[in-house]
Structure 1
């Protein structure tokens, strides 16, 4: 089983993602780290504890990460999408509380990377602040990351927090640029271009709710989340779960190697990810960008329901 770390800002779709990771037979969930993002850090930390407790993974170390971006402060959060509690207004359905935090996120991640005898998969499904700090302060551990899977960005369909920017990247563009442009860790980027295609409908959510307590709690988040995402009542995206499925089963999503750039200006384009489709420049760093072309979105949707519906 591949060792897996999930850096997350729960978050409704983060809850789906953690449910996927908790008992996937292909991976060994070695740590979860909470970062600011959809809601503030104390809430994302509590939500991570709720999810680990409900999923029966109290054995997984929980690290507490960054509570703000690297450079420019932002007060933007996504309570309008995820609810004030981060879990669609139904956080009380998730629990009991799992483990107390085991320390700082950077220390928890470094411990896993430093002791693993196999390359570790790092799934980053919130702002990339923790990952950027790790790579900046512990460059010796970069080679221990076999693959970084990032949910973030939009390379052609427009943004969800501004006309062009996606929330995770927009929350800390400097961190995103460090990770996606300056580093050399093998990276798969799962943008809105794909996650907006792998949406789920009412029948899918009803089937999930009927599967058991975990599925029922996840499906109960739909009211606030569907309204906040603004894609229509019968079209709910679960962005982070799509990225986690790719982290668990590499090759689930079709990818194209592209050079990317992140707009770190303070203007209206801040947080935009630009993908260069003209071809790879000699020596240029590419990331594998997951796109709808070549991806069987119906199969992805079905796989998510099958895995989430067989929990407990």
Structure 2
């Protein structure tokens, strides 16, 4: 059983990752840390709480994370991609008020201390909350077993600028800090996750098996997401499940991903290259070891990914 704390900015792809984690029989979802990103922090936390309620798992705590990047700049949200409330056409019938003015990492640190060397952190949003946790209590964070991040783009264009992927671009200072300081780090970048597509036909199939309130939100939010992606990338065959790929990576399914070990830096200065993820892929460069060295996913078995997703998301 894999104990996971999910750091999310709960928009549509985060929601699918969360639904997968809640459904998978080998994942013990220990907590959700919800921060800004696809939507604001309070909506992000509310959306996570709503999905947990649909799953009958209100025992899982939702921890209110960061509201701003480390730079203090006002974040930009994406209602045209994730909807006004962050879940496409769905307006969760829950208030955001319980999460307002509630940034507090005490519960996170308590959980980590209760399960030393057992917890896996999977970060599928901005790296801000994770970086803050390291700034506040590095000794506690060293008790985390391993960390997976969805972020960056290597040897491929970004998705918010010509060179930058959204999670790293949204807080490059936090991303750079985590990449250079978090031990046991695995990065699942855009150049791998953009091929993790769920086509409308696959979504329709999942919907034919949807017999729980949690499963029944999958089709409406992914249909909304697909229409948004048709504007972003006309003709794309489905919706990229960036965040879901990172959760699946944490399960270490044999053969699902291939990796290289690289020192990763993130450009955090204002300018053309802001948010650029940097690693040395030149031939003959030796792989690195130790702190500041990350496993970077280089490829994914798309057939195995699709089969696994269909298996989990159509379970009774």
Shift of 1:285: 2.5
- Is residue 301 of structure 1 aligned with residue 306 of structure 2? yes
Shift of 1:21: 1.1
Shift of 1:83: 1.2
Match of 2:286 in 1: 279
Against the structure 1 CA distance between its residues 186 and 283, is the aligned structure 2 distance closer, same or farther, given a 3 Å change threshold? Answer: closer
Aligned equivalents of 1:283 and 1:151: distance in 2? Answer: 20
Q: Is the 8 A contact 1:210 1:216 kept in 2?
A: no
Aligned equivalents of 1:199 and 1:67: distance in 2? Answer: 30
Shift of 1:291: 1.9
Match of 2:44 in 1: 44
- Is residue 241 of structure 1 aligned with residue 244 of structure 2? yes
Q: Which moved more, 1:220-229 or 1:158-167?
A: 220-229
Q: Is the 8 A contact 2:116 2:144 kept in 1?
A: no
Shift of 1:105: 4.9
Gaps of 5+ in 1: none
Q: Is the 8 A contact 1:24 1:248 kept in 2?
A: no
Match of 2:118 in 1: 119
Match of 1:128 in 2: 127
The alignment's TM-score, normalised by the length of structure 1, stands at 0.91
For 1:124-273, list aligned pairs within 5 A: 124-181=123-180, 183-212=181-210, 213=212, 214-229=214-229, 230-231=232-233, 232=235, 234-249=237-252, 251=254, 252-273=256-277
1:160-195 CA deviation, whole Å, 9 max, x = no partner?
A: 1111111111111000000012x1411111111111
Shift of 1:14: 0.5
Against the structure 1 CA distance between its residues 64 and 281, is the aligned structure 2 distance closer, same or farther, given a 3 Å change threshold? Answer: closer
Shift of 1:117: 4.5
Q: Is the 8 A contact 2:75 2:170 kept in 1?
A: no
Aligned equivalents of 2:204 and 2:223: distance in 1? Answer: 13
- Is residue 54 of structure 1 aligned with residue 34 of structure 2? no
Against the structure 1 CA distance between its residues 55 and 233, is the aligned structure 2 distance closer, same or farther, given a 3 Å change threshold? Answer: farther
Against the structure 1 CA distance between its residues 116 and 9, is the aligned structure 2 distance closer, same or farther, given a 3 Å change threshold? Answer: same
Q: Is the 8 A contact 1:261 1:275 kept in 2?
A: yes
Q: Is the 8 A contact 1:52 1:97 kept in 2?
A: no
Aligned equivalents of 2:72 and 2:280: distance in 1? Answer: 26
For 1:8-157, list aligned pairs within 5 A: 8-92=8-92, 104-157=103-156
Q: Which moved more, 1:224-233 or 1:20-29?
A: 224-233
